[in-house]
Amino acid sequence: MTTTTEQPTVPAPEQRLSLAAVAEDVYQAMIRTTRAAEAGFDPVLAELLKIRASMINGCAFCIDMHVTDARKAGEAEHRIHALSAWRETPYYTARERAALALAESITLLTEGHVPDPVYQEAAAKFDENELARLISIVATINAWNRLAVATRMSPAPK
């Protein structure tokens, strides 16, 4: 059996427009909002939340970006790879699990909103400021996902 390292050559969909070029004020406002949300929050956990929400939303551009950022922040490969099945692995702390559950509930609002037990578990693990930032991080990545998917942003070929 032979293996190949050749990468498939599937062309990326053509980007519809560049928000940064066409509506720079909106783009810059999103960047400022993202930075404000993340200020003082655990950067590795923020990346995990952004990856998980992006997985749910099917945003390849954001998944690629935040996996790269998580690696740069020191996140372990096995934890990145297991994010889509975080409930079935022993890799995440109780605090991370509470954050991931809340992130999923916020991202999947049409599937039952944010149940009280999910919110209460996160509130027990994070102080009010952290909780506000966690919610804001998830809200901003969901907005970024929608912008990237709507404009067909694609990750660069590797």
Residues 30-50: pLDDT tens digits? 999 999 999 999 999 999 999
Domain limits of the chain?
A: 22-151
- Give pLDDT, residue 1: 54
- Give pLDDT, residue 11: 75
Mean pLDDT within 90-114: 97
DSSP 8-class letter at 73: T
How many angstroms separate the CA atoms of 27 and 37, rounded?
15
75 phi and psi, to 5 degrees? -70, 140
- Give pLDDT, residue 157: 82
CATH superfamily entry for domain 22-151: AhpD-like (1.20.1290.10)
How many angstroms separate the CA atoms of 99 and 46, rounded?
9
The average confidence (pLDDT) of the chain is 94
- Give pLDDT, residue 2: 53
Contact 136, 37 (CB under 8 A): yes
Torsion region of 58: left, alpha or beta (phi above 0 gives left; psi -120 to 50 gives alpha)? left
